[in-house]
Structures are given as structure tokens and as C-alpha cells.
Structure 1
Amino acid sequence: MNTRLNTADFNQALLNFLDQSPTPFHAVASIAARLDQAGFMSLKESDPWVLQPGQGYYTTRNGSSIIAWRQPVEAQGFAAGLRLTGAHTDSPCLKVKPQPELLRQGYFQLGVEVYGGVLLNPWFDRDLSLAGRVTVRQSSGQLSSHLIDFKKPIAVIPSLAIHLDREANAARSINAQTYLPPILGQATEKPDFRALLQQKLLAEQVDVAAVLDYELAFYDCQKAALVGLDDALVCSARLDNLLSCFIGLQALIESRPGNGQVLICNDHEEVGSASACGAQGPMLTQWLDRVLPADCNRYAVLANSLFVSADNAHGIHPNFADRHDDNHGPRLNQGPVIKINSNQRYASNSETSARFRDLAYRAGVPVQSFVVRSDQGCGSTIGPIVATETGIPTVDVGVPQFAMHSIRETAGAEDAIGLTRILMELYQS
């Protein structure tokens, strides 16, 4: 069992990472900063690569997806296959529309578009901030992109008082077009949102002649925290799936150089992964083209590899236990979960599950199983996509959590470090 990790330090670093990563762009920047500190080297996709044995590298795409890896120590190290962990950087949220300005009843609001399968009710009456990426024209005429984060409450989506909606607690459907535009303040004329972004960037000493475009999302200002009388729970926004990104990152950094060790964190999983930087796009296969030696047997390398698709699982909720199969209700702080679906919504099979169980045994970490009720539909992950695109043997796993796709989610404080220890065994295998 690997005991190098300290639970208290691990969870504090996790909380910091969650708070620093309000959007996929910020998450990738946070991951890159930690890789820099660990001695990994940044490579641009547009440059030629000269790779050294045992050295760690990373490359990004769209600023929202990242692949980090260590080259094998031995020249023939690829023959043993790759050890890959995959996760996703995006989370369901409310994104600002291109022409968002609204002035209604004297209130300045922004039109928003629902991204992914958002649980909408929890977004009401929260202190919201705004973050993302802004692309500008500089005074020289050149284009540049910058991360932006207001870092303080600038908006709210107020609920309608129960006096005006007596059925609110019994039945309330949410119209995403009319109910969700956040209020940013009061105004007598419609403000220019791009001008507001320009003022924000200028205040941060960014050269901005004009704001050309942006990708911005609202997020909850409440900080990530340990919760419970014994701090047994982690509560935060975006646990699905930044929790898995952090787990994979820590496992890679803490592992000793060996055979091919890979972490890939893709954007756009919550909307189907079909993009240039999504798991269904060519990012991973193009990376394989560049990294695998020309004289290796590519198909043998992939056949000898193992891909661990890490995406959170549904923990059994004590108030809704009937929503789970009686024998497959994972509990928080009882170990990571192998996710299984006979209709291939998850890519786990008996052999890849057994390999994961063996890694967990070596790490001294318990493992649970999840199968959706036979009368319910099943979600999916990047696991089946990667398995289909590459042929790499794949297992779907995840840390159990409550309130998936809510603005604030809950997981166990012991499970993340447990899965990290298993992935360290993966990288050393």
C-alpha cells in the first residue's frame, strides 16, 4: 500500500484546486501550474517535439483540454503498453449568450444558455460570479485571449416568492429562457456587456482595444469545504468531474517514472464529447501518432494498455435509497466505484474490472460496484468513446457522490485519496 499521501494535505490541495477552477479554462491552467511545479515541460501542438526518456510533458488544446504524460524510462518501455487515466474538465452550468444584455423592469440582466444536464433549482438565490475566456484585439491590432474571473458575487437569480406561486413546493417547472437570466444590478439604460469586460481587463493591465468574443459561465461563489461533524464530506461546485481531474493529476505527479504514464482531461463531456478537444475528437489519437515510436507495433502497444475512465458515480442517497438497485448502492467513504452496464454505456468488462480490483488490492483500498436499476436509463462517460476510438481496454470508475449536476455537490473526504492510491498503482504497473 502506498502511504506517501497525507489525507489532510491532499484534501486541502483539492479544495484549493476546486476554488481556482471555475471553468474548464481555469481548470487546465490550474493543472498546468501544478505540472510546472512538478517539473513537467509544456509543449505546443504547433511545435516539433523532441522527447526524452523519463521526462514529464503536457500539451493543451483550446485551453480547456490537456494531456500530461511521462515518457518511458527504457527505450522499449512502450512495449508494456500505456497506463492512462481520463477525466473531463467541464461541468453543467449557465453560459452567457453572445448578445446577452437585457433591461427588464429597471434591472440589468444577462441572457444565459444552459450547458449540459443542469439541475436548475439549486441555481436560484445563490451568490454568483462570472469567469471564462475573453478574446481581444490589442492596440497593436494583434489578437490575444485571456482568462477572466470576477471572483466576487456580481449576480443572483432570485426565486419567485411562494406567495406568488403556491404550488412551488409541489410542482414547479423552470423555463430556461425566461426564469434564469441573472440580475446584475439596476439600470435606466441597457449597459454594453463587452465594454464592461473591457473595463475589467484594463483594470488588470491587459492591453485591450476591443473585446471581440468570449466564453463565460456563471458559478457559485461559495468556497469548497469539508463538511460534517468529523469533516467526512467534501462539498463544492464542479466535483463532477474536477474531482477526477485532481485525482489523476496527483497520481501522475506522485508516481515514479516508469512505463508510459498518461493523464488526459477533455472538455465537452457533458454535451457529448463531439469537438476538436472532446474525447470523441482526434486529440488522443493525434497524440498517439506523435508520441509512439515509429518502429513500435502500435496495435500491440494499445492492446497491452489500460485506460481508466474516471468520472464520479451516484452514491446511494439516504433519503432516496429506492432509486438504486438494492445490491449496487455505493456509499460515500467506502471506496471508489466500478461502473458496469451491459448495454455498453460504461466500458468496463470482467477483465478490465478485475485488473482494477487487483490494483485496488495492492493499494489497500476497498472497491464498490454500481449498476443502474433495470427500470432506469443509464448515463455514460468518455470510457466507451475512448474504447471505441482506440481499442484500448477500458474500465469505468468513479468516486461516489450526491447531487450530481447540482450547483453544489457532495463526495466523501476519504474516497478521492483512495482512488489516487489506486491510480498510482496503475502508473507503477
Structure 2
Amino acid sequence: MSDVNQFNANLCAFLDASPTPFHAVEVMRLRLETAGFIALNERAEWCVEPGKSYYVIRNNSSIVAFHCGTENLQECGWRMVGAHTDSPNLKVKPTPELLRHGYVQLGVEVYGGALLNPWFDRDLGLAGRVNYENASGDLCSALINIDRPVGVIPSLAIHLDREANSGRSINPQRDLPVVLMQSEEGVNFRALLKEQLAQQGIDDVNTVLDYELSFYDCQAAAIMGWNGDFIASARLDNLLSCFIGLEALLAADTTQHTVLVCNDHEEVGSQSAVGAQGPMLESVLRRVAGEEVVWQRAIANSMMISADNAHGIHPNFSDKHDGNHGPLLNSGPVIKNNVNQRYATNSETSSLFRRLCANCGVAVQSFVVRSDMACGSTIGPITASAIGVKTLDIGVPTFAMHSIRELAGSRDSFDLHTVLRNYFELESVLDSDNH
């Protein structure tokens, strides 16, 4: 198996094992533990040592992993890569049970800017975190992943909606409750969760208190296309970047100070204790730096690469792109630019990335949104403004972003991994003569 094929096989396995941010962070934690990374508890004293590697988890949905390098931190700074663990989805409401015409349904909320039409007529699994009180009265939590089709949102037949192909709109409150089963009496959803926990070997549950659960598409990630040109999966935005960053960090040596941060809640604005607009990354880096002057000098010598998927030019909708900025799948990572700082790229950080790509023999592309369209954003500008670090926004070109199933090129992820691995090992990320 070639390096690219092996990389993609591992990527598909990661995507399938990570239906929620909680599961993604758990998979990353296990990888880091196997590689010798040491867990740090934010409630305890830290003693980090040069040449060793560590990680910090908050809320079980955000993670910061780093090599504590052997070079002088305040002279070399950190080489950072950022991504996010969350994706648009349908989350189960706190009191979700609906019984209508003999069908048990669960009410859902739309998390993030989901493309809703593709959610209809899919085999839906259910996963997330359940909090409960055990038989001893302790508060506990556990992850569940019901990775079989337990729900569906059936479309209305076209015979009953003749405008379905020309003018259909979706009302999330009315149209998205998920069909779970048939019953004349209804069910208690928390009782179903208690049964699921028992099937997982957790048989001391007294009361299910609350949960954060999401429906997801059961269809596995796949390499597809006549020549295997594409990878199709749920949650490519942005677990693809989490995986690429993780693999690059694990492959890099421990000479330089390198950091991978994967935040939750990007899809809803990042304003949380574990989002990029929260204090997690800064808190971790300040504790590693120790003294204030070390922190200030280290940040001035640091750089962040925010990795989040880019919009590939769709052959059926090419007019949605600026004519000179239509990224192609399998043609290299994309530098994302926006003069209004929706992306944090500037000419200095993009120039360094272009040189990195050239040194690795990897093509590079640019994206600028049409001047008459609004631009999305990433954790890049948020992180840059929060800690004052020079930042670049890049990503792998993708189709159908925010759909239940997205599409990317099967060669782009490995190419970006190669570039990020080399970035992590740079002796200097900035030209000191310019400061």
C-alpha cells in the first residue's frame, strides 16, 4: 500500500470513529498516549520538561497537544496548527419525545449552518455524551455511539408536494423530527439511554440526568470516483484537518516547540470555554512559558496555521467563484484570503507557506470569495486577535461543505500533511530582521 493510500485508510478510520467532538478527542487522546504524550490536568501543578510531549483536554471536546522542544522557547516561539472538532448536525432536544399517529419521534435542534436537504432519507445513528448518577450517588459521564440506523427523516412524497423540486423550503421545527420507532404508548428517551449504557457494560446507572447527543449518517467514509480521486465522508469539515494536524505533530521531531489545538464550537461562533474565542489555548501556552516576558517573546516569534476546509470550484456552479480563484480538488492546499479579516492571512504568513509548499514539491492555490458575496470565517482571526500571533488560514478544497456527506480530493490531505510536518520542524518561522 502506498503512503497516500495508507494515510487515507487511516483517515477514513478516524472519521468513522469520530461521530461527535467527544469521540474525535477520545480517538486523538488514544493516539497521543500511544505515542508517549503525557496528560496534563488543568487543576494540578505542571512541570513540563524539554524534549517531552504533553496534551490537555477540556470538556472532552477540545484538545491542545504539544511538544516541549529543546530549543530556547522565547527565541524560537511555537509552531502552531489549529482546527476544530465540531461539524453541523442535528442535536437531540432535552425533552425530545414526540408521539404522533403511532410513530415515536425525537425533536432536534440544528447545530451550526447545516445544509439540511441531504439529511432526509438517510440512515441515522446516534452518538455523544450521557451524564448520569450512579448507584452510589456519584455524577458520571460516558460516551455512547449507536452506530446502526436507529432513526430517519423521511421525505414527503412528491405526489403530496408537487413543488418539491422547484421551491421547497425546510422548517426545522416541523420537518426535521427524527422517526425512531412505532409505538402506541410512546417511550421515555432517558430510559432508552439507560438501556444503551447497560449494553455497554455500565449497569450501575441510577438516573440519566442529561446528555449531548447528535444524529449522524451511518454511511462509512469511502475513497470513491472512477479512479479513486475523491474521499467522501461526513464531518470532513473539519475532522480532516484535525487528523492531518495530528499526523504531522506525531511525525515531527521534538526539537522545536510545536502545538496542535483542536477547538469545539467553531460552527457556532467559538464563544465558549472550549472554543477558540475562549481562554484555553492562551492558558495552556502561558503555563508552559512560565514568566510573562517569556510568553511575550515566544508569541512574537510564533505562528499559527489555521487549517479549515476551503471551497473547491464546483463544475456545475462555477459562477459562484471569482474567476481567478477557483481551487481544484487534488491540486494542493488553498491559501484563504479576505481583506476584511474573515481570514487572518497576510502576505508574510502566506509567503512562508508558499515557500514551504515549494520546498516540499506541493502545489498551492488561493481562494478569495466573490466581491459580491459574504465570506465565512474560521478560528484563524479569533486566535490571532486573542493571543496576538501571526496567523495563516489554509485548507483542503472541498465540495458540499456543511452537507451530511462532503467530498474532498484523495491526494490533498497527504500533501498538506507533508507541508505541516515540515512546518513543525522549521528552525525559524519568521524573519527576525523584520522585527
Shared fold (TM-score, shorter chain, > 0.5): yes
For 2:330 and 2:84, locate their aligned partners in 1 and report how far apart those are by CA, in whole Å.
Answer: 22
Gaps spanning 5+ residues in structure 2: where?
Answer: 427-435
User: 2:77–2:301: 8 Å Cα contact kept in structure 1?
Assistant: yes
For 2:153 and 2:159, locate their aligned partners in 1 and report how far apart those are by CA, in whole Å.
Answer: 18
Aligned mate of 1:420, from 417, 421, 432: 417
Gaps spanning 5+ residues in structure 1: where?
Answer: none
Shift of 1:295: 6.9
User: 1:79–1:296: 8 Å Cα contact kept in structure 2?
Assistant: no
For 1:78 and 1:13, locate their aligned partners in 2 and report how far apart those are by CA, in whole Å.
Answer: 36
Shift of 1:205: 1.4
Equivalent residue, structure 2, for 1:36? 33
Aligned mate of 2:158, from 158, 162, 169: 162
Give the AA of the match of 2:318.
A
Equivalent residue, structure 1, for 2:104? 108
Q: Does 1:385 align with 2:382?
A: yes
Shift of 1:293: 3.3
Equivalent residue, structure 2, for 1:61? 58
Shift of 1:298: 2.1
Matched position secondary structure for 2:165 = coil
Equivalent residue, structure 2, for 1:124? 120
For 2:136 and 2:306, locate their aligned partners in 1 and report how far apart those are by CA, in whole Å.
Answer: 44
RMSD between superposed Cα atoms in Å:
1.0
Aligned mate of 1:368, from 348, 365, 370: 365
Same amino acid, percent of matched pairs? 59
User: 2:327–2:334: 8 Å Cα contact kept in structure 1?
Assistant: yes
For 1:295 and 1:161, locate their aligned partners in 2 and report how far apart those are by CA, in whole Å.
Answer: 64
For 2:76 and 2:358, locate their aligned partners in 1 and report how far apart those are by CA, in whole Å.
Answer: 21
Q: Does 1:152 align with 2:148?
A: yes
Equivalent residue, structure 1, for 2:238? 241
Matched position secondary structure for 1:10 = helix
For 2:184 and 2:177, locate their aligned partners in 1 and report how far apart those are by CA, in whole Å.
Answer: 18
Equivalent residue, structure 2, for 1:135? 131
Q: Does 1:331 align with 2:328?
A: yes
Equivalent residue, structure 1, for 2:17? 20
Q: Does 1:290 align with 2:287?
A: yes
Shift of 1:364: 1.4
User: 2:74–2:301: 8 Å Cα contact kept in structure 1?
Assistant: no
For 2:285 and 2:40, locate their aligned partners in 1 and report how far apart those are by CA, in whole Å.
Answer: 15
Q: Does 1:226 align with 2:223?
A: yes
For 1:350 and 1:299, locate their aligned partners in 2 and report how far apart those are by CA, in whole Å.
Answer: 23
For 2:262 and 2:292, locate their aligned partners in 1 and report how far apart those are by CA, in whole Å.
Answer: 28
For 2:305 and 2:21, locate their aligned partners in 1 and report how far apart those are by CA, in whole Å.
Answer: 21
Q: Does 1:200 align with 2:196?
A: yes
Shift of 1:50: 1.3
Shift of 1:77: 3.6
Give the AA of the match of 2:86.
D
User: 1:72–1:78: 8 Å Cα contact kept in structure 2?
Assistant: no
For 1:87 and 1:373, locate their aligned partners in 2 and report how far apart those are by CA, in whole Å.
Answer: 24
Equivalent residue, structure 2, for 1:10? 7
Equivalent residue, structure 2, for 1:355? 352
Q: Deviations over 1:28-69 (max 9, x none)?
A: 001111111111111121121111111111110000000000
Name the count of aligned residue pairs.
Answer: 424
Q: Does 1:267 align with 2:273?
A: no
Matched position secondary structure for 1:423 = helix
Shift of 1:257: 1.0
User: 1:224–1:236: 8 Å Cα contact kept in structure 2?
Assistant: yes
For 2:74 and 2:98, locate their aligned partners in 1 and report how far apart those are by CA, in whole Å.
Answer: 56
Deviates more, 1:40-49 or 1:217-226: 40-49
For 1:297 and 1:149, locate their aligned partners in 2 and report how far apart those are by CA, in whole Å.
Answer: 43
